[in-house]
A = this chain, B = another copy of it.
Amino acid sequence: MDFMKEALMEARKALMLDEVPVGAIIVKDNKIISRAHNLRETLNSPLAHAEVLAIKDASEKLNSWRLTGCKLYVTLEPCIMCAGAIAQARISEVYIGTIDPAAGACGSILNILQNDNLNLHTKTHWLYNEECSQLLKDFFKWKRK
């Protein structure tokens, strides 16, 4: 199963709601246990990024704040809040579809998950996907009109 494709399906759901199109999937034992998309405007919440919503749902499903052994697939490089949430949740691996040069905290403006001062447990993988970035480019182009 192509999990980034599934994350992209979530990003498209955000787009339909006129939200910045970002989607996330959490996978455990090769099965999707949660899926979410950015809902900041819809929920009027600064916390409602795709990753945070996916983590919330996965924790509820597993009845644990520790998501050890879980993999998160996200279409856009996580921001500081989301990278921090990924670290708090002890997610084992993160797969990222495209960079966020303005606010990405997994290599762009900061590299939260590879900080030697923190005892972190998360490996970062880049799974560059043209569609992840095209979706965002189209969205912002359309918004500027």
Contacts and interface: CB of A to CB of B under 8 A. Distances in A.
B81 A105 contact: no
A109 B118 contact: yes
Interface in A105-121: 105, 109-110, 112, 115, 117-118
B103 A118 contact: yes
A96 to B, nearest CB: 16
Contacts of A49: 88
**Chain A interface secondary structure, helix, strand, loop or mixed?**
loop
Contact of A89 (B46, B87, B90): B46
A17 interface: no
A43 B43 CA distance: 21
A115 B104 CA distance: 13
A41 B63 CA distance: 10
Of the listed residues A52, A84, A109, A117, the one surrounded by the most CB atoms of chain B closer than 10 A to its CB is: A84
Given A109-B117, A109-B118, A118-B103, A65 B84 contact: no
